[in-house]
Amino acid sequence: MPTVELTKDNFNSTLESNDTVLIDFWASWCGPCKMFAPVYEKAAESNPDLVFGKVDTEAQQELAAAFDIRSIPTLMIVRDKIVVFSQPGALPESALTDVIDQARKLDMDEVRASVADQQASETQA
């Protein structure tokens, strides 16, 4: 499946209608982004059951700001509308494959419980 260009208009609907979405925050002037692009495209082809999106941080500054993107490329994985991975820097193919495998194996009931616990403790603080 080819990557999807994510914008403020389709971002939320993409997350809501898909279980797992990988997001590459990038810019056309960014050298490491250009190096990471073919690795990301290959992973998209190898994982047709997942949605691979790209956010052009120059064109979609509101989205980049909403996710506090300070360095590009930044890879984010959202599963069941919860960010389960976020890391700046271009990943080599083997590391990207490993991160995808780990995201697939997550027990989302445990993740939701952990998020709820964290939110509860922040409310009490």
Q: 93 and 37 in contact (C-beta within 8 Å)? A: no
User: Active site includes 30?
Assistant: yes
Catalytic residue among 33, 44, 55, 99: 33
Catalytic residue among 30, 50, 78, 100: 30
User: Active site includes 15?
Assistant: no
The C-alpha atoms of residue 77 and residue 57 are separated, in whole angstroms, by: 17
Note the helical H segments in the chain. Answer: 11-16, 31-46, 61-66, 93-105, 108-124
Active site amino acids: 30, 33
